[in-house]
Structure 1
Amino acid sequence: MEYGEGSGGSGRGDKKKRYHRHTALQIQILESTFKECPHPDEKTRMQLSRELDLAPRQIKFWFQNRRTQMKAHHERADNCALRVENDKIRCENIVIREALKNLVCPTCGGPPIGEDCYFDEQKLRFENAQLKEELDRVSSIAAKYIGRPVLQLPAVQPFHMSSLDLSMASYGGRMHSGPSLDLDLLTGGGASSSTTINPDPLPIISDIDKSLMAEVATNAMEEFISLVHNTEPLWLKGPKDDAIENLNLDNYRRIFPRPNYNPNLRTEASRVSGVVIMNSLKLVDMFVDSIKWSETFPAIVSKARTIEVISSGSQSGYLQLMYEELQVLSPLVPTRQMYLLRFVQEIKQGSWAVVDVSYDFPQYNPSRLKVQRLPSGCLIQDMPNGYSKVTWIEHMQVEETNPVNRLYRDFIYSGLAFGAKRWLACLQRACERTASLIMTDASSHDLGGAMPSAEGKRSMMKLSQRMMHNFCWSINPPNGHQWTTLSGTNEFEVRAILYKSTNGLVLSASTTISLPVPPQNVFDFLRDGRTRPQWDVLSNQNPVQEVANIANGSHPGNCISVLRAYTPSQNNMLILQESSTDASGSLVVYCPIDLPAINIAMNGEDPSYIPLLPSGFVITTDGHQEMTDGHHGGSLVTLVFQIQTNSLPSAKISPESLTTVSNLITSTVHQIKGSINASSTTT
């Protein structure tokens, strides 16, 4: 954090601001003091000044700024609570109106005379205003006793739709029949929802629990440091990739014996090292903040939340209890859910260790998939020019209650799905995107429009980053809702899920297919605007023109594109697309967006309110090459299409909409397979 401080001088106009960046140790001590006493007296400030080698004025300003931050944080929390209460009222209103529809008049036997079946917006606003006044009154009374307003609002339960009439769905003469099908309706939407998920119920942390947690974290740190610095006999070079090392389990069990070791659990353990474009302090700050953590790894971290900070001392390190769900970007792979301790400690100057280890709450076990995370994490070492060397270790024990899907079996069993290589590759890509966002001279070109300014490039990057996060979030949305199979063949199944966004109901459909070609070939085919008419059935085989391109990585495939399709009826509609690739896999994500919205972002204005409904592709190796010798690996491609179905939460999804999205995915799969197979045959 930076804090401004006026320089010396008698004239007020002569004063210029200079900034002082506190060290991590200084911030830890200040935070610890603030937690005990937000308003320190002069004696305490002087003592801190001597201890931290800071001027008393700096100490005073730091506490003033910190109190302002806390006040703003509480205000944001209160505003969120009011929004939750507003949504609750709306949901209750819908339920009441649905119930009124089923009433009959006792006199004539007909329907009762009442208001319109849709929302009475003005009435709701009036009711919400009354509730807000009541909440403010109670909050102000509570403030007299605890020093700040406190709102205790009941949790809003997910609102489920009525059963949908889905007796028939057809494509190409094939009929899929069955009983009526319910799609889960989710509340919320977007990347931010991944950080607001609340494991229910939350574990209650006692003082005894905290002391046990500190002991577990300390032991995990010792084991992790030993695993980082040990080579033989603990680590073995991988047969296919020399950069990946696999844990020698027999030697590990001899060195680190565990009395409760379960031999029936499958072990995944790997180590890899690499260089990232970010210094150690920024990386540590990113890892201890659950929101930044999930934003850094949207393709892996489906949900993350800090439950409680156990310790924030400068000497003992930073220890927090977290809830986390890890994902592979496909509905076919269940998420891995766990409570874990994250322990951050500075080993020496410029060298930090971030260690995760599972902490079990048997009564709160949230997962159908039993996962035990043994000491894992990363060692971060500063390098010149703002770079860091990162050594990542990932060590899990997994007990699947259900068989792993056949398409992803090799990918998961090879350790690529949740292993160290994927974590480090995603971190390197995230740091590269951050670096390109900061650089004002990021490479870009346009082909027929005005060249965006530096602010315009940053605005476009932020808009595209939000699109990518929304896409990853949509594959495994919160609250444990499941995908429902709409139709299926021997080759693939089409699945769907329904969720509520700020703009209405969104129907998301997905399928995963296997292709006998390398992932890079599939990525190049899908991201290229010249080959887009071969698979994009909505373009009606019309050519696509790239009108702008912004590079956000060193690989030529890491870029943001603005595309225009030659369709006379959609002259004002463009396509925002980002393609991203790293050693763990690739993404091609796109979203229709109108010309005025693109111009807003290109001009450097705030793009946060621009609505986004992304679709796209996830491309990974199928894992065969890592599991077998002499076999050329293929690709796994997950397609996700999203359509907005109705602006009214009370509306039902028609069978025609479900048939349309199922047919859309089926046609796209056939187009991709035909084009890829034809291309691979000719080469």
Structure 2
Amino acid sequence: MPNGAIADPSFLAFPIPCSLPNSSEFSNSIGKMDGYREACLLGDSFDPNGVVRMREDEYDSRSGSDNIDGAVSGDDQDANNEQRRKRKKYHRHTPHQIQELEIFFKECPHPDDKQRSELSRRLGLESKQVKFWFQNRRTQMKTQIERHENAILKHENDKLRAENSVMKDAISNPTCNTCGGPSIPVHLSFEEHQLRIDNARLRDELHRLYTVTNKFLGWPVLPFVNHSSSVSSDSCLELSVGRNGMGNLSNISDPMPMGLNLGNGLFNGDPVMPISKSQMGMPGNDIPIDRTIYVDLALAAMDELVKVAQIDTPLWIRSRDSSGKETLNFDEYSRTFPSSAAMKHTNWTTEATRDTTMVIINSMALIETLMDANRWAEMFPCLIARATTIDVISNGMGGTRNGSLQLMHAELRVLSPLVPVRTLKFLRFCKQHADGLWAVVDVSLGEGADADMFFSCRRLPSGCIVQDMPNGFSKVTWVEHTEYDETVVHQLYRQIISWGIGFGSQRWLATLQRQCDCLAILMSSTEDPAGISPHGRRSMLKLSQRMVDNFCSGICTSTLHKWDKLVVGNISEDVKMMARNSINDPGEPPGIVLSASTSVWMPVTQQRLFAFLQDECLRSEWDILSNGRPMIEMLCISKGQGLDNRVSLLRANPMNANENTMLILQESWTDISGSLVVYAPVDTASVNLVMRGEDSAYVSLLPSGFAILPDGPSNYACTNNDKDGSIMSDINSGYASGCLLTVAFQILVNNLPTAKLTVESVETVNNLISCTIQKIKVALRVL
């Protein structure tokens, strides 16, 4: 389609077929595919100043210039002016408008009505003009992509034809080496022999590309027809190119069935025909030959995930105690997956967990969240310190995530300074096995230049299987399988990390369930009992989320947050001290911020310790901000089904009516995987603005708080919430009677621009942590 093509909506509903010479069936097969319908890749030869015309109503949007040839005068000029007034109105986009539209197109080639309205308002265009510009841009890109691929295929076709012609001439006209006359060939010449070798190599390469393409997309690997023995004059050509672009496959009428079977019939699929190799990767950016190893690795990982996720298989051994914990049978695993077992590090520790739950989210929404690095990190805020997409190998096909393959980088954390951040570089592969049934698998790269050779852990095939359920729910089966260097983990956490409490499937699913419950409440139409408007509630929750993010970053450093680690001689190595200058950071008070954190074992259950810390009536027993007085909950915003998952606004009980006490913003939640209590003093005027729905990005926050982990699998089933100060009931109940408590503070030690951190300030914060832990032990009578 030329650059001046008209964007007709009915025309855009179908892809433009590729016109390969002497390959009509290939063009028809391309026309049936819609893999390019969602093309979102910029072509190398795209000219943003080219003229693009659009026809609808009275609008015609142009990105270039209109040229008027010749000059007229007198009556002719009047006639021309009259004709021009009857013409349709044209609009030239300015260079600034084109630049802004191009930038937005790279991020989102299919904007919705709201995005188009925002663009038209910002650029001074009408919404229809923006709509038509995007239609023409997508059409132009599709044309360039098809031209590029057509040229590549034509070049391959011509090359094979030339080689075939040389071979046929040499065979049909043999000559005698002695007399130079015609003779019957007994031995092939060196050139003819080389031509046969090259032709065989090209045939094998085409066969391999075809096989990898169909394997990657989960389609059957049909038999590759060899025409080398055919007596047809053009059999060699059909062998390498074929009439449909992938060998002579048009005669195959009985393709093998596709699909996987987990024993419940859900993974069975209908037979499908193979596709052209261009759908193997992003449009215009096919997977290079040297990157097909990514495809093989992703396919093997997906096959392993599906088998490991099956219920009632010998791969898992269920414990006989009340926890119901499953343990991976490594002997059976080694027999089932010998290649994966052979790649394991001999000196590393392996953790493997599996769990299933129901969440309030449909499969498509969850898959989109998992395949977007930013949304994935937002869904698991306390688990993921940072996530980025390094490379998109395939965007999927048909406008969906089916077949999407990405190379990603992530930093995972446990909220404790004694557990280092896990840095991973891995492939993420998404596949649809049936209608409403998806699977997403992660696997670290193997040996080689791209492998995570400098990391202290490796992600074996892990991920989730998502199945749609009635009423908008999904059944999620999560598998976590990782091997890591145990020597980098503090002795206090080694056992629970090996059990999977820190990074295991139960923590992923508990976090997912909690976040989905929060989103369901936000989208509900019920009025808030506190009388806050929906905008005010969202602003308060956004402010609270930023507070929790800052709290987590002060415990587990990542490459996203810049902290300077401090080493002070008289402070224990178990206490992590860091500092940074927040003069230019919005949302934080200017000056030097000191972060201090440590983790200790507490001889009480997770639930009992959480109930004590989040109780505002008992806060005066450990919090110096309360000034020895009980706190009053001024506001409560629910974030889940239970009362413990909420955002609160607290205030110390005033001594008199004229006293202006401090407000404290607090978020607390608890689930089967752990508990969290985070708080920060806030300015009253700022909070009032946020409650009215104003932007919360510039509200200063210095969070402090507590993170609690159970110290054993049996604690997952513990529901003992007694507050009588005795731990004997926990011990007699058969549950583990302890938990791991992380205490962290962020304090502004000096607000002067030229201030320097002193040893006295560091020691003061260290004493604050020690004093707080001591007060908690005294209040719980566990000294």
Give TM class, smaller chain.
0.5 to 0.7
Is 1:535 matched with 2:535? no
Deviation at 1:539, TM superposition (A): 2.2
Per the TM alignment, residue 261 of structure 1 is displaced from its structure 2 partner at its CA by: 3.7
Residue matched to 1:478: 558
Determine the structure 1 residue equivalent to 2:387: 304
State the distance in 2 between where 1:535 and 1:311 align.
53
The alignment's TM-score, normalised by the length of structure 2, stands at 0.59
1:336 Cα deviation from its structure 2 partner: 1.3
Contact 2:664 2:680 in 1 (8 A): yes
Question: Quick one: structure 1 residues 478 and 592, their matched pair in 2 at CA, closer, same or farther if it must change by over 3 Å?
Answer: same
Report the CA distance between 1:32 and its aligned residue: 3.1
What does the per-residue CA deviation read over 1:170-195, in whole Å, with 9 as the maximum and x for residues that have no partner? Answer: xxxxxxxxxxxxxxxxxxxxxxxxxx
> Percent identity at matched positions?
42
For the pair 1:668 / 2:772, whether they are aligned, the reply is: yes
Residues 440 and 473 of structure 1: CA distance in aligned 2, closer, same or farther (over 3 Å): farther
Specify which of 256, 264, 274 is matched with residue 337 of structure 2: 256
Q: CA deviation at 1:624?
A: 7.1
Aligned to 1:522: 609
2:22 paired residue number: none
1:614 aligns with 2:699: no
Return the letter of the residue paired with 2:443: V
| 1:398 aligns to 2:484 (yes or no) | yes
- Tell me what 1:344 maps to: 430
Query: Are residues 1:656 and 2:745 paired?
Result: no
| Aligned twin of 1:436 | 521
> Is the contact between residue 425 and residue 583 of structure 1 (CA under 8 Å) also seen in structure 2?
yes
Q: Whole-Å Cα distance in 1 between the matches of residues 469 and 99 of structure 2?
A: 35
The equivalent of 2:741 in structure 1 is 637
Using the alignment, how far apart are the partners of 2:753 and 2:33 within structure 1? 50
Match of 2:403 in 1: 317
Aligned match for 1:587, one of 676, 682, 706: 676
CA contact (8 A) 1:453 1:603 kept: yes
Q: How big is the shift at 1:270?
A: 1.3
Task: For 1:593 and 1:522, locate their aligned partners in 2 and report how far apart those are by CA, in whole Å.
Answer: 25
Alignment of 1:114-133 (within 5 A): none
Matches within 5 A, 1:13-412: 29-32=36-39, 34-36=41-43, 71-72=103-104, 207-240=288-321, 244-258=325-339, 259-314=342-397, 317-360=403-446, 370-402=456-488, 404-412=489-497
Output the CA distance in 2 between the equivalents of 1:268 and 1:565: 45
Q: Structure 2 CA distance, aligned partners of 1:209 and 1:419?
A: 34
The one-letter amino acid paired with 2:337 is F
CA contact (8 A) 2:322 2:714 kept: no
Alignment match, 1:578: 667
- Deviation at residue 467 of structure 1 after TM alignment: 1.4
Q: Return the alpha-carbon distance in structure 1 between the equivalents of residues 415 and 679 of structure 2.
A: 16
Cα separation, 2, equivalents of 1:620 and 1:435: 26
Contact 1:221 1:343 in 2 (8 A): yes
Aligned equivalent of 2:632, options 545, 553, 574? 545
Root-mean-square deviation (CA, aligned residues, Å) is: 3.7
Q: Which amino acid aligns with 1:278?
A: I
Unaligned 5+ runs, structure 2: 1-8, 10-31, 56-96, 109-140, 142-285, 717-730
Letter in 1 for 2:558: P
How far 1:574 moved relative to its partner? Answer: 0.5
Q: Which moved more, 1:603-612 or 1:238-247?
A: 238-247
Distance across 2 between alignment mates of 1:301 and 1:75: 24
Deviation, 1:400, is: 2.8
CA distance in 1, matches of 2:51, 2:338: 51
- SS of corresponding position for 1:232: coil
Q: Is the 8 A contact 1:244 1:272 kept in 2?
A: no
* Residue deviations 1:594-645 (CA, integer Å, cap 9, x gap): 1111111111222222222211100111227479995623111101100123
C-alpha contact 2:429 2:442 (8 A) present in aligned 1: yes
Q: How far, CA to CA, are the matches of 1:506 and 1:324 in structure 2?
A: 26
**Where does residue 499 of structure 1 map in the other structure?**
580
Q: Could you tell me how far 1:489 is from its partner in structure 2?
A: 8.2
Alignment match, 1:422: 507
Q: Deviations over 1:231-289 (max 9, x none)?
A: 22112224446564322111111011024344433211111100011111111111111
Confirm or deny: 8 A CA contact 1:576 1:590 kept in the other structure. yes
CA contact (8 A) 1:621 1:633 kept: no
Matched letter for residue 542 of structure 2: K
Structure 2 SS opposite 1:292: helix
Aligned-pair distance for 1:334?
0.9
For residues 54 and 315 of structure 2, the distance between their equivalents in structure 1, rounded to whole angstroms, comes to 49
**1:565 and 2:657 aligned:** no
Does structure 2 conserve the Cα–Cα contact (< 8 Å) formed by 1:374 and 1:397?
yes
CA distance in 1, matches of 2:327, 2:527: 38
CA–CA separation in structure 2 for the residues paired with 1:608 and 1:553: 24
Deviation at 1:406, TM superposition (A): 2.4
Structure 2 partner of 1:605: 694
Separation of aligned partners in 2, 1:28 and 1:609: 44
**TM-score, scaled to structure 1:** 0.67
Which whole-Å deviations, capped at 9, do the CAs of 1:350-396 have from their partners, x for residues lacking one? 11111100014765776765212111000111112211110000111
How far off is 1:69 after superposition?
7.2
Partner letter of residue 546 of structure 2?
R
Q: Is the 8 A contact 2:479 2:505 kept in 1?
A: yes
Q: 1:676 to 1:310 in 2, by over 3 A?
A: same
How many Å apart are 1:524 and its aligned residue?
A: 0.7
The residue aligned with 2:750 is: 646
**Residue pair 2:710, 2:739 contacting (<8 A) in 1 also:** yes
Distance 1:570 1:508 in 2: 31
Change (3 A) 1:365 1:376: closer
SS of 2:515 mapped into structure 1 = helix
Q: What does residue 12 of structure 1 align with?
A: none
SS in 2 for 1:395: strand
- Contact 2:702 2:747 (8 Å CA) reproduced: yes
Question: Aligned partners of 2:456, 2:764: CA distance in 1, in Å?
Answer: 38
Are positions 1:512 and 2:599 aligned together? Answer: yes
- Per-residue deviation, residues 296-353 of structure 1 (Å, max 9, x unmatched): 1121111211111011131761111011111110110011111100111121111111
SS of 2:514 mapped into structure 1 = helix
Query: Which digits, 9 at most, give the CA deviation of each residue in 1:20-59, with x for residues without a partner?
Result: xxxxx999754336555989999999xxxxxxxxxxxxxx
Label 1:654 to 1:216 Cα distance change in 2 as closer, same or farther (>3 A). Answer: same
Number of residue pairs aligned between Structure 1 and Structure 2: 503
C-alpha contact (below 8 Å) 2:563/2:580 kept by paired residues: no
CA contact (8 A) 1:572 1:595 kept: no
Distance 1:367 1:666, change over 3 A: farther
User: Which runs of 5 or more structure 1 residues have no equivalent in the other structure?
Assistant: 1-6, 8-24, 46-64, 77-146, 148-204, 446-450
- Alignment-derived partner of residue 160 in structure 2: none
- Give the partner amino acid of 1:71: I
User: Looking at both structures, which has the greater relative contact order when contacts are Cα pairs under 8 Å and sequence separation is at least 6?
Assistant: 1
Structure 1 residue aligned with 2:548, among 433, 447, 468? 468
Structure 1 residue 592, shift from structure 2 partner: 0.6
8 Å CA contact retained: 2:705, 2:745: yes
